[in-house]
Amino acid sequence: MTAPYVHGHGAREAERLRDQADTLATLIHDGTRYPVGHTVLEAGCGTGAQTVSLARHSPGSWITSIDRSAVSLAQARARVEQAGFANVTFREADLLALPFAPASFDHVFVCFVLEHLPDPAAALAALARVLRPGGSLTVVEGDHGTVCMHPHSDAAHRAVGCLVELQRRAGGDALVGRRLHPLLSAAGFADVDVTARTVHAVGGHAGLAESFTRKTFTAMVDGVRDTAIAEGLSTLTDFAAGVRDLDRTADAGGVFVYTFFKGTAVKR
């Protein structure tokens, strides 16, 4: 079972995911290239935010991108077609009930998915089943506990904490990034390697301060404002202050830092 997606499925969230994918393309996909003719499963592709980058970096591979949502798949398909790639096939499927024979794929790629699952270990076991022996698994996840900023703001950290708690209540884990290594090791994979991919956004400069601090992270936190207040996790005044302080770190003199974790492993 997949936990509810706490960020929602509206146009605003689709735009945020697109901004995030564009901003983090190099950070996430650096080092991920699949050989010509190899088969790749992208599990939980959503609206295709990462699919275009996968197709662009491995134009000779054959990518199968799955998601439970037919609506999201339609958006992903349109995005890939608009980008002009023909090496991606889309299929509606549940990650925990994959409709593929054992050892069907040479590689598996999963990004920002485990954080939404109540049992990420079960998901990794399901993915291992359809991966051939010697095939590779790549997992990318964030960790909201790595947030640090200047100027410091208790209100901003409380607002981020609301998002973490809402995801916990929904059955997910917004801090799963720090657990990638033990999760992959416990799942029986070999050659487990996890690297920290840090975003360091200096306020007042074009680039990450606007695209990541404002349009990606602050927008994500602000997106749960109504739910956080409705569930009694914050007040309108305090949450608004937290979002305002997050946004201000994108101004001159501000700094925002966040760490993603990218894990790679091989099926024994």
1 within a domain of the structure (yes/no)? no
3-class SS of residue 250: coil
5 part of a folded domain: no
| Pair 140, 24: CB distance under 8 Å | no
Find the CATH number of the domain harbouring 95. Answer: 3.40.50.150
Kindly report the average pLDDT of the chain as a whole number: 93
Pairwise CA distance, residues 21 & 42, whole Å: 15
pLDDT at 57: 95
What residue numbers bound the domain in which 117 lies?
A: 11-266
Please list the residues that pair with 197 across neighbouring strands: 260
Report yes or no: 239 and 51 within 8 Å, Cβ to Cβ: no
Q: Could you give the number of structural domains in the chain?
A: 1
Cα angle 190, 56, 179 (rounded to 5 degrees) comes to 35
- Residue 22 pLDDT level (bands cut at 50, 70, 90): confident
pLDDT tens, position by position, 209-245:
999 999 999 999 999 999 999 999 999 999 999 999 9
Look at residue 39 in the predicted model and tell me its pLDDT. 98
The answer to whether position 2 is within a domain reads no
> What confidence tens digit (pLDDT) does each residue in 79-127 have?
999 999 999 999 999 999 999 999 999 999 999 999 999 999 999 999 9
